[in-house]
């Protein structure tokens, strides 16, 4: 439940955002970690970015990575589970709406 009186449209509020949330290093050769989402949410970010790409064989499960670079990748499933756990770990008063910004590169 939202513990705040938020009657205005979402665009009326200041929202702390994170770009390339999964990266803990450089944009071209950095390390990707699901734990980076926990850190961003704990620091107050309420909009986190997920850059979704097709994963490889054998599962072809979606991954998060900074496409066409040398960054590592993480499973989208792991990141989403981490985001959910980080949000639930917040004190109730800090659980304002959380926006997931999807940059979708997966094939249909």
Strand order in the sheet with 99-104: 74-75, 63-64, 47-53, 99-104
**Greatest CA separation for the chain:** 47
Residue count (the chain): 108
- 13, 19, 31, 104: the active-site residue: 19
- 19 an active-site residue? yes
- HEC per residue, 82-94: HHHHHHHHCCHHH
- 66 an active-site residue? yes
- 23, 66, 71, 83: the active-site residue: 66
Catalogue the active-site residues.
19, 66
């Amino acid at each position: 439940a939202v513990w705040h009186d938020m009657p205005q449209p979402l665009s009326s509020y200041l929202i702390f955002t994170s770009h390339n949330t999964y990266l803990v290093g450089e944009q071209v050769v950095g390390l990707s970690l699901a734990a980076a989402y926990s850190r961003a949410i704990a620091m107050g970010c309420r909009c986190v970015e997920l850059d979704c790409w097709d994963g490889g064989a054998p599962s072809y499960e979606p991954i998060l990575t900074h496409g066409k670079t040398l960054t590592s990748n993480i499973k989208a499933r792991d990141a989403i589970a981490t985001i959910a756990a980080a949000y639930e770990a917040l004190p109730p008063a800090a659980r304002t709406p959380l926006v997931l910004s999807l940059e979708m590169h997966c094939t249909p």
